[in-house]
Structure 1
Amino acid sequence: MEASFLPPKHLTGFGSDKLIGYYAIDKKLSIKILSSLGKEEASFGVFPSEYKNFIYRFEAGGLVVDKYKNIYQMNVSSPEIYKYNKEGKLIKIFDNYSKRFRYLQKDLSDDPISIINETKNLKDISLAERLFLLNEKTLLIKLRHKNNFGILLLNLEGKLLHEHEFELKDNLVCAKNNYLIFIKNQQVAKDSIYVNPILIIYKLK
C-alpha cells in the first residue's frame, strides 16, 4: 500500500482496479477514490453541516457501489442516501423513509469533556448504522433504534420496495447476494461465564 494510505470508516471496491473510501480524518469528511494501492485520485462528497461532529465521531453510516459504478453514501445522522455517478457528481438524494427515526437535536460539541457527557444522552436517538447492496437492484438500510433494529429495502432509484420498515430484535451484521446474516446472543447460564452467540442466516427469494 501507499505510505500515505489511511484507513477510512468504510472501504469497498470500485471497479476492477480501484478502491473507494468514506473518510473522516481531522474533522474533514469526504469520499475518496483510490488506486488499488491506496493512493488518492479524487475526493468529493456532500455531508450535512448540522451534524458534522456527530458523523465524525461515530463509526456508522455506509458506502456501497453498484455494477454501474454509481456510489451510494449514507451518514449515521439520517437514513438519507446520497447517490453519485462514477465521476463523483451528485445525482440524487433519497428521502428519509423511516417514520420511527429519532434525530439528534443538536450536534456534538468540539470540547472533549463535553462530548463525554453528551454521548451519555444518545441512547434515545436512532442511528443509520449500515448500508448494504443486497443484490444488483436492491439497497438495504439497517437502522438502530432505542430498543430494536429496523430494515428498509429500496431500489437503486430510491423507491421503497416495502411500504413499512421491518422491525427486528436480532442484530444484522451482513447482507449480500440476497443472504441476511444475524447475530443472536444466547442467554448465559448461571454457571457459565460466556456463551458464544448464534449466527442465523436467511436467504431471500
Structure 2
Amino acid sequence: MSKIREKNQDLIIEVACRLFALQGYAATKMADIAKEANIPKPNVYYYFSTKDNLYRAVLESVIQPLLDASKPIEQLDDPAEALTEYIKTKLRISRDHPYASKVFANEVMSGAKYLPQDIADGLLQQSKMIVEKFELWIEQGRMVKVSPQHLMFTIWASTQTYADFSWQICNVLNKPALDNNDYAEAAEFLTQFVINGCQLNK
C-alpha cells in the first residue's frame, strides 16, 4: 500500500470515528465524512466502496486492540501480573481510541445491529478465554471465589468508561481533557481495587 493511500485511509477512518461517535451510524453520511476529511467524496468510495465497509474499518480500529488487550491474561500465569497488564492496556485503548471506543459502545448499546458476525464471534471467543482463565485461577486457589463473568464485566466497564463517558469524568475532575497522569492514576487505582477484591496470592 502506498504511503499516500495509507495516509488518506487513516484520515478517513479518523474522521469517520468522530462522526459515527457523535452522530451515530444512520445519521452519518459519506458526504459528511468526505467534507470533514477534505477529500472528494468519490475518493472515500474508492477506498471503502460502501458506508458499511467504512463502518467496519472504524470498528476494527478499536476491536483489534481490544482483542490484543487480553494477551496478558492468555499468556501469563500470575493473576496479579496478568490483570495489571490487562487493565493498563484497556485504559490505553480508551486514551488512544476514544471515538472508536464510543462507536463500539454505541453499537453494543443499540443491539449490535451493524456489528459484523466475525467480529462478534471473535469477541465472544475472547470472553470465553478470559472466563476460563479466571476459573482456572480460582480452582488453583490463586484467586478468591468470585463470579468470573462479573469480574470481567467490571474490568470492561471501569476501563472503557474513561473513553465512553469522558465528558462526565472531565466535568467531575474539572478539567477540559484527561491527561496521561489521569490514566496512570486510574490504572493504579483499578489494579489495586481488582487485586485486593480478588484476594490474589502475589
Is TM (by shorter chain) over 0.5? no
Q: Shorter-chain TM-score: what band?
A: under 0.3
Rg comparison, structure with higher value:
2
* Structure 1 or 2: more helix by fraction: 2
